[in-house]
Structure 1
Amino acid sequence: MDDNSKDVINSLPDNLLCHILSNLSTKEAALTSLLSKRWRYLFAFVPNLDFNAFSSLQPETVLQDQTSFIDFVDRVLKLRGKDHINKFSLKCGDGIQDEDVFPWILNALRHGVSDLALHVSPSLVYWLPSKVFASKTLVRLKIGPKDGPRIKLRNVCLPKLKTLNLDSVVFEEGEIGFAKLLSGCPLLEELSLLNLSWDYWDSCSVSSKILKRLTLCCSYCGGNPKSVSFDTPNVVYFEYSDNIARKYPQMNFDSLVEASICTRMTNDQKANARYVSDVDEETEMVGNAMNLLMGICSVKTLYLSCDTLETLSFCCQAIPVFNNLTHLTIESHPELGWESLPNLLKNCPNLETLTFQGLLHKATERCGDVCLCHGLKNSLSCLSSSPVKLLKILKIGETNDDDNKEIEIEQVKNFLEKMPNLEQLIIYYNTSNENDLVEVSSQLEMVPAVASLKCKIQVISDNLSLSSTLPSS
């Protein structure tokens, strides 16, 4: 740094310098204390505090071990006095006790913190102070990571909270505690609950007229929720991962634009499952995904996991029409079939972009007419009426098995031969050898009868790419 640069920076007012330092972690900002007397304590008055015990940047005079980390945090908070705190971020693990962390959190709450992010282990803090959920200033609250601290929800009062992200939260009162949380956040627009455990709940209901983004990912367990309802008319983004419920009595997603669905069956359900076409009046499906799909059928962008494809084969009597769907992503797995995929594609009349995350799947007699598992290459296919213009295929060649690679390439050829509206095919091939890209592209260009003569092929891998246009003959 030259003298002119130093003069320009030093001429700035303290509040502007603090604003600049707030873009750094507190440890990084602390290094500026070595510049001059003016900078000695300036870092302690930034509006955003970011304490990270795992940071690799450890000034010799600030952080040598966990003890010095505790001393550092205590010192910064003491220097600030009564100054307002805008954001308080804390990351620490074993070696620091509750009696250290609790005062830091309560200090931030007393000084009007609006953005609180806590990344602490359960051995560090088993139960967080209840005052975290009784703040009149919090706008954003994030608590994690997985298997992080437990939370006892008593009186929830977060009148300004708009964003809430919780990982591995435990609700002492089950669905009652969950309802208490929602009712205590009247302005909540974004809710993310990860690794939620509700296998002992009778039911769950998410009801909010304000929510715009909802992520509900439940940890795997041996049971199924009996009833799950969503009355969230203004949600535009919905991510849902859980064992398939016995019923979904209410599904209100009037504003939904994008959804990611991962429903799965338990081992007991899989043992008793029957394909939907085999279910009669004397038998029942092991779960019911019909209302779930009906509730999200107005979506424009949809991601379905491989487990969801399996669930639909056994737990959905009829797949609804997705009139608004333009982007669909399908995840595949070598041990799970594509039985539900043909009917799904038939009911997406305006689909423009179709993405496959892998093509390998379990070959069964009910695979339908999307694949080549049972020699259906020359048969009529739902692909023949597909409106898809852009086809993306990811994770090709990941198994390093020549037979699997051949199966994948033959499936791609099947798409080219059947899909009449394709304008672009993009293949993400797992290789660092450019010759592999050339070989795959050449094989696809030699497909004798393509359904769309205007389709352009692009084969990509890491920083390698090869583009070509299919011949018009």
Structure 2
Amino acid sequence: MQRGLSELHLRCRHQIDRDADFFFWSKTLVKLTLSNGCRIKYVPKKEGFVIFPSLKSLYLGDVAICHVHFDNLMASCPGLEEVFIRNGDGQPFPPSWTGLVSGDLMKRLVIYSHVPKYTNFYKKEEVWLDTVNLVYFDYSSYVSNFYVMCDMDSLVEARLDLRLWESTIPYDDYDDDYFPMNDFRTFGDVSHLLGAIGPNVKTLHLSSDSLEAIYFCCNFYVMFNNLVTLSFESHKDKGWQGVPRLLKNAPNLQTLVIKGLLHRATGRCGNVCPCFHLKRNFKACVCRSCELSRVSCLTTMPVKVLEISGYGGTRREIQQMRHFLGKLKCLELVKIGVQQEADNSDLRLNLMALPRLSSKCNIQFI
């Protein structure tokens, strides 16, 4: 440190306390990594002094630090351009992140916070993000009650993994007209988070949990006017309730990437999916003809490239591909990534035989 170190990666269960003054007040340190249970007992704070004036990249991975000293550390690095925060599963100490990140120069922000046994951290604390010049944002966490966000006018790419506290299966039999889907007391509220990301983001990646969070935890419709590429994951136990809302509000979408087509059939898969959910103990009409008569939002989508990975050629997957090819009128290229154990010859023949609404549509296997 005394010789002008510019990069330091400290991965050990070492304790940094008041006796480690040599560690602080570095004028040359540009990149700092603290991880693997590193315990920070003390971060100096003096009015007018900056601990790391040249620091641009900070990685905090599973560190033990109280909230006060965490805030002191972040406030003492005014030049940060990249911040990575990780509170992983199974760590023996409470989450170090306080729910606050601020920085006018910050370009990349990655937050991974998965410590579900500390429920009060998520259900009572607010998440504050004041990063107006952010270009890349990766956020993976359980849904909090409230998000305070600045306008992310420079945002280009975002990845969201928003996990709910409770299963949404009990709500599969309800329609929007009967179910107050924005019951924040149960699921949380991501309205302001999406509202900050939506208007400017060009590439958006969503986990299968995020699809449900967007549907159940957003109380207003967010427009994704600049969104060009949308990528989301599917899971056999998660629904597609949020997909119709996303597609309807992305008028300039060009590329749609889906990792797996199998998902849980619900009463609100919408008109982007041909799967049928037989409702139980409900008053609304459930006949097959009414389900299929709904006008699909896919017919107005400008999507030119459709990419599917993990394709297995099951009956449900073939039905879904028939639905996409028969509704997306602007398709020019369909990329199919086939599972290794699938029968490629029959699978390819079945796909190539499906009718296509777009005369320009070509199917490519990758």
Following the alignment from structure 2 to structure 1, what is the Cα–Cα distance between the partners of residues 340 and 44?
55
**Conserved in 2, the CA contact under 8 Å of 1:133 and 1:153?**
no
Q: Report Cα offsets for 1:43-84 as digits up to 9, x if no partner.
A: xxxxxxxxxxxxxxxxxxxxxxxxxxxxxxxxxxxxxxxxxx
Which residue matches 1:392?
307
Which residue matches 1:333?
235
Say whether 1:159 aligns with 2:53: yes
Say whether 1:439 aligns with 2:346: yes
Q: Report Cα offsets for 1:247-296 as digits up to 9, x if no partner.
A: 113333121111001111124x8699898942289985531111110010
Following the alignment from structure 1 to structure 2, what is the Cα–Cα distance between the partners of residues 221 and 405?
35
Query: 1:360-399 counterparts in 2 under 5 A?
Result: 360-374=262-276, 376=291, 379-397=294-312
Following the alignment from structure 2 to structure 1, what is the Cα–Cα distance between the partners of residues 71 and 170?
33
Q: Cα distance 1:273–1:177, how it changes in 2: closer, same or farther (>3 A)?
A: farther
How many aligned positions are there? Answer: 335
The Cα of 1:372 is off from its aligned counterpart by: 1.6
- Provide the alpha-carbon RMSD of the alignment: 2.8
Aligned mate of 1:138, from 29, 32, 48: 29
Following the alignment from structure 2 to structure 1, what is the Cα–Cα distance between the partners of residues 94 and 62?
13
The Cα of 1:379 is off from its aligned counterpart by: 4.3
Following the alignment from structure 1 to structure 2, what is the Cα–Cα distance between the partners of residues 136 and 251?
30
Following the alignment from structure 1 to structure 2, what is the Cα–Cα distance between the partners of residues 406 and 323?
34
Which residue matches 1:411?
320
The Cα of 1:203 is off from its aligned counterpart by: 5.9
Q: Cα distance 1:158–1:412, how it changes in 2: closer, same or farther (>3 A)?
A: same
Aligned mate of 1:291, from 165, 168, 192: 192
Q: Which has the larger radius of gyration?
A: 1
Q: Report Cα offsets for 1:435-459 as digits up to 9, x if no partner.
A: x3332222122113x2111111011
Q: Cα distance 1:282–1:426, how it changes in 2: closer, same or farther (>3 A)?
A: closer
SS at match of 2:245: helix
Q: Which runs of 5+ in 1 are unaligned?
A: 1-108, 398-403, 461-473
Q: Report Cα offsets for 1:144-184 as digits up to 9, x if no partner.
A: 3xx43222341261111011112112221x1x333212211
Which residue matches 1:453?
359
Aligned mate of 1:210, from 102, 105, 111: 105
TM-score (norm 2): 0.83
The aligned amino acid for 2:239 is G
The aligned amino acid for 2:28 is T
**Conserved in 2, the CA contact under 8 Å of 1:251 and 1:291?**
no
Higher helix share: 1
Which residue matches 1:68?
none
**Conserved in 2, the CA contact under 8 Å of 1:141 and 1:161?**
yes
Aligned mate of 2:11, from 90, 105, 119: 119
Q: Cα distance 1:316–1:282, how it changes in 2: closer, same or farther (>3 A)?
A: closer
Query: 1:197-346 counterparts in 2 under 5 A?
Result: 204-222=99-117, 223=119, 224-225=122-123, 226-267=125-166, 277=176, 278-279=179-180, 284=185, 286-297=187-198, 298-346=200-248
SS at match of 2:253: coil
SS at match of 2:350: helix
SS at match of 2:271: coil
**Conserved in 1, the CA contact under 8 Å of 2:230 and 2:253?**
yes
Following the alignment from structure 1 to structure 2, what is the Cα–Cα distance between the partners of residues 381 and 246?
33
Following the alignment from structure 1 to structure 2, what is the Cα–Cα distance between the partners of residues 272 and 230?
33
SS at match of 1:440: helix
The aligned amino acid for 1:171 is I
Q: After the TM superposition, which of the residue ranges 421-430 and 190-199 deviates more from structure 2?
A: 190-199
**Conserved in 2, the CA contact under 8 Å of 1:301 and 1:326?**
yes
**Conserved in 2, the CA contact under 8 Å of 1:279 and 1:285?**
no
Which residue matches 2:38?
149
Which residue matches 1:39?
none
Q: Report Cα offsets for 1:171-202 as digits up to 9, x if no partner.
A: 21x1x333212211111110111126896789
Q: After the TM superposition, which of the residue ranges 312-321 and 274-283 deviates more from structure 2?
A: 274-283
The Cα of 1:378 is off from its aligned counterpart by: 6.1
Q: Cα distance 1:282–1:217, how it changes in 2: closer, same or farther (>3 A)?
A: closer
The aligned amino acid for 2:152 is F
Following the alignment from structure 2 to structure 1, what is the Cα–Cα distance between the partners of residues 105 and 60?
18
SS at match of 1:110: coil
The Cα of 1:419 is off from its aligned counterpart by: 0.7
**Conserved in 2, the CA contact under 8 Å of 1:130 and 1:151?**
no
Which residue matches 1:88?
none
Q: Report Cα offsets for 1:111-138 as digits up to 9, x if no partner.
A: 2110112333x3xx35585643432211
Following the alignment from structure 2 to structure 1, what is the Cα–Cα distance between the partners of residues 189 and 98?
15
**Conserved in 1, the CA contact under 8 Å of 2:70 and 2:97?**
no
The Cα of 1:328 is off from its aligned counterpart by: 0.7
The Cα of 1:369 is off from its aligned counterpart by: 1.2
Following the alignment from structure 2 to structure 1, what is the Cα–Cα distance between the partners of residues 137 and 182?
34
Q: Report Cα offsets for 1:366-386 as digits up to 9, x if no partner.
A: 111111211655642111111
Q: Percent identity?
A: 38
Following the alignment from structure 1 to structure 2, what is the Cα–Cα distance between the partners of residues 307 and 282?
17
The aligned amino acid for 1:151 is I
The aligned amino acid for 1:287 is G
**Conserved in 1, the CA contact under 8 Å of 2:31 and 2:55?**
yes
Q: Report Cα offsets for 1:186-240 as digits up to 9, x if no partner.
A: 1111011112689678962222111111111102314124311111111100111
TM-score (norm 1): 0.65
